[in-house]
Amino acid sequence: MRIILIGPPGAGKGTQCQKLVEHLRVPHLSTGEMLRAAVRAGTPEGVQAAASMEQGQLVPDPIILGMVTKRLEAADCRDGCLLDGFPRTLPQAATLDELLERQAMSVDGVIELAVPRDELVRRMLARKRADDNPEIFAKRIASFEVQTAPLLDYYHRQGKLASVDGLGTADEIFERVQAALERFARDRHVRARQGRRDPPWPEV
């Protein structure tokens, strides 16, 4: 199954994905982690990406798409994957749909982690990542609101969006995430019965 987690910086995407990978046993693809690894390794993509990341801006689509396409085509993603922080723009979402369509696959569900801004700031201040400072964080939130939030409507129109309250303990939120997965599984059965793509997945 192919699940996307969307949410503003600090919403808990990485935290919930760590729990989800144990549950779903599919690879966790975090574009943020991939980019930080490329920056550390000093690859050409990493050097280009660093300039945007340091400013709290999104990395240009061609760099992201080059990186993710390669990863999604790897054998371990054949049975599914967990996408954390990708897609983040409408062109990224459209490219992902085309890529999966070519392999007769599709996104099964999109989980939005909804967290109010004051809590995001509180979490950011409690952590110490290079891009966690108030000025850059405000820009990361603005990038989310302008470039990524339109994806919520994109997936809502496809009937694939589940909005989850991202406030509470990580375990409480994970219970809500699991309820969303159950809904995605039911929807997938319905699509299969209607003769649409994707066979039913194993019980979650």
Select from 127, 128, 157, 193 the one that contacts ligand AP5 (CB under 6 A). Answer: 127
> Is residue 88 a contact residue for ligand AP5 (CB under 6 A)?
yes
Q: For residues 148-174, b (16+ Cβ closer than 10 Å) or e, as one string? A: beebbebbeeeebbbbbebeeeeeebb
The residue among 21 and 192 lying less far from Mg ion, judged by its C-beta, is: 21
The residue among 2 and 13 lying less far from Mg ion, judged by its C-beta, is: 13
The residue among 46 and 85 lying less far from ligand AP5, judged by its C-beta, is: 85
The least CB distance from residue 105 to ligand AP5, in Å, is 19
> Is residue 14 a contact residue for Mg ion (CB under 5 A)?
yes
- Residue 123's binding partner among ligand AP5, Mg ion, none (Cβ under 5 to 8 angstroms by kind) is ligand AP5
The least CB distance from residue 168 to ligand AP5, in Å, is 6
Q: Which parts of this chain interact with Mg ion (CB under 5 A)?
A: 13-14
